[in-house]
């Protein structure tokens, strides 16, 4: 009797789940990687899509690194997110970091469609490049302005970076080789949200940040010029599953609205409002959309 009752309960639960799935309202899932800019951009996509099309949007912020988000897209658990073209080329496609912005965008668009059935839409208007950042006091005292300047201080300095930068083909190993850098210690693996605080607290001396990070100016830090042009272009661009575009035809036009709407200065300010000023992401995005008449 107990087994019969247990079996009936399991069947009933499965039927309820099936009914719930079949009656669920169609919606889109927008994801982000695990840093502030990505969370802001995911919220921007979500708010704009909801306002422009009426399609309900589920947010999956802080989902993980590049490859985790890619895996979720391939599994159909996520419909769209914002990627960077240089990251797509190197970390996802595994190709050499070479070419200008137009060439890399074309290559990524072509291969994402062929390999993954993802559409790479028009760029948002800014690039978020890797920035090797140092303390402003060190930049002034040691006359450091370019990445090549690090060669003379590297033996007594320590670098810090997120795990992904240490592993990716356009990351730490290639960067140190290109500039002939021999740091005195192994690089510290840091949470992306703690990079700049570790730098300010002198736990490390140079970190691999992002050119649009709002805390760079807020904390008086200095990004070094990539004088050997090691890093490829990293134009921010929405990536969306082709199946989602077919299911929601209005989505294509909504994403087209955002093309070229965000400058590097805009993105740096949005990041500052969230990171340095501790503003609510949704409120910051609403104000930005209003200012841009989106």
Return the CATH number at 114: 3.40.190.10
Instruction: Choose one of 195, 223, 251: the last residue of a domain.
Output: 223
Flag whether 16 is in a domain: no
pLDDT on residue 146: 97
At 245, the pLDDT band (50, 70, 90 cuts) reads very high
**Whether residue 135 is found in the same domain as residue 109:** no
Contact residues for 160 (Cβ-Cβ < 8 A; gap 6+): 187, 188, 189, 190, 195, 198, 199, 203, 204, 206, 207, 208
H helical segments located in 201-280: 215-218, 242-247, 250-257, 264-275
Is the pTM higher than 0.75? yes
Residues 114 and 145 in one domain: no
Tens digit of each residue's pLDDT (9 = 90 or more) over 123-156: 999 999 999 999 999 999 999 999 999 999 999 9
Region 117-123: mean pLDDT is: 98
pLDDT at position 78, please? 97
Residue 212 sits in which domain range? Answer: 130-223
In a domain, 210, yes or no: yes
Instruction: Tell me how many helices (H) and strands (E) the chain has.
Output: 14, 10
Q: Is the domain of 68 the same as that of 86? A: yes
5 within some domain? no
Distances (CA, A) of 286 to 42, 44, 270, 274, 293: 13, 8, 11, 13, 10
pLDDT over 70 percentage in the chain: 92
Let me know if residue 46 belongs to a domain.
Answer: yes
Based on the domain organization, do 103 and 142 belong to the same domain?
no
pLDDT, position 129: 92
pLDDT at 113: 98
Q: Are residues 265 and 144 in the same domain?
A: no
Residue 211 has pLDDT above 60, yes or no: yes
Q: Is the pLDDT of residue 14 over 80?
A: no
CATH number for the domain that contains residue 189: 3.40.190.120
Q: How confident is the model at residue 24 (pLDDT cuts 50, 70, 90)?
A: low
């Amino acid at each position: 009797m107990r087994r019969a009752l247990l079996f009936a309960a399991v069947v009933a639960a499965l039927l309820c789940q099936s009914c719930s799935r079949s009656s669920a309202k169609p919606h889109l899932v927008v994801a982000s990687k695990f840093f502030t800019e990505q969370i802001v951009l995911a919220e921007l996509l979500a708010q704009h899509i909801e306002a422009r099309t009426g399609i309900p949007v589920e947010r999956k912020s802080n989902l993980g690194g590049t490859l985790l988000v890619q895996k979720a897209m391939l599994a159909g658990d996520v419909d769209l997110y914002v990627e960077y073209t240089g990251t797509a080329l190197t970390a996802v496609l595994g190709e050499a970091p070479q070419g200008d912005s137009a060439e890399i965008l074309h290559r990524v668009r072509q291969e994402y469609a062929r390999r993954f059935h993802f559409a790479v839409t028009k760029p948002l208007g800014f690039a978020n490049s890797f920035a090797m950042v140092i303390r402003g006091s060190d930049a002034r005292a040691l006359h450091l302005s370019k990445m090549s300047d690090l060669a003379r201080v590297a033996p007594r300095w320590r670098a810090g970076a997120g795990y992904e930068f240490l592993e990716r083909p356009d990351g730490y190993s290639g960067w140190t080789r290109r500039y002939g850098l021999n740091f005195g210690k192994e690089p510290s693996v840091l949470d992306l949200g703690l990079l700049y605080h570790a730098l300010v607290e002198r736990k490390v001396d140079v970190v691999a940040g992002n050119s649009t990070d709002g805390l760079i100016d807020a904390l008086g830090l200095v990004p070094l010029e990539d004088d050997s042009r090691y890093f490829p272009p990293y134009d921010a661009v929405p990536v969306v599953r082709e199946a989602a575009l077919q299911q929601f035809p209005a989505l294509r036009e909504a994403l087209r609205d955002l093309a070229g709407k965000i400058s590097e200065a805009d993105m740096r300010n949005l990041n500052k409002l969230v990171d340095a000023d501790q503003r609510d992401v949704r409120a910051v995005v609403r104000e930005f959309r209003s200012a841009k008449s989106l």
